[in-house]
Amino acid sequence: MKLHREGYGIIITALITFVLISLLNYYFLSCYPILFSTGQVLLLIFLFLIIQFFRIPYRINPFGENDIVCPADGTIVVIEEIMENEYFHDRRIQISVFMSPLNVHANYYPISGIVDYIKYHKGLFFVAWHPKSSTDNERSTIVIKNQNGNYVLFRQIAGALARRICYYSEKGQQVSQGDEFGFIKFGSRIDIFLPVGTRIDVQIGDKVKAKLTRLGTFE
């Protein structure tokens, strides 16, 4: 396991803050052992939560060309057929993955292919499970076309805590399933839009893992 580069600055700031507050804690509360110990435990928990948020576990993607791999860790909160109005302008199957602050927040390509479309949208910061978060929140949209002519659209969506969406794709880029394409800082969500008729392998409420869970298969 390693730490994501997007977290380096935040982790260094957290470490400095931990040291400074620990010194203050010792100076003012060292004569009160219970208060001093409680303060240090809370500081350690805070530091642990910051560091674990930016963890990147080592995983091997075991899936093939017709499989759609989950792009993020989290919980399936939506599976429904809807009208997708940004790129396809037709009906698609939407699968939404909610990421809590305890999940790994790196994002990975669900299929291999060519990046056909990228767009970043400024927006609001509804909680990530709010129905309007998909269309009104800060978000980025990426579309991949694979060698068989199948398209997958996936959308990073900022949540109430997230204030920065990071993505590294470029239009026309050749990408591989399971490679990292971005990161969302703190609570967030990813929507994936699949062709109607795709075989879906997950259900609402399922706990999913990036690169290790298959969302579905192209028919």
Contacts of 65 (CB under 8 A, 6+ apart): 111, 112, 146, 147, 148
The catalytic site residues sit at 188
**Within a 10 A sphere around the Cβ of 201, how many other Cβ atoms?**
14
Are 22 and 36 in contact by the 8 Å Cβ rule? The answer is no
| Four-CA torsion 173, 174, 177, 182, nearest 10 degrees | -20
Contacts of 124 (CB under 8 A, 6+ apart): 136, 137, 138
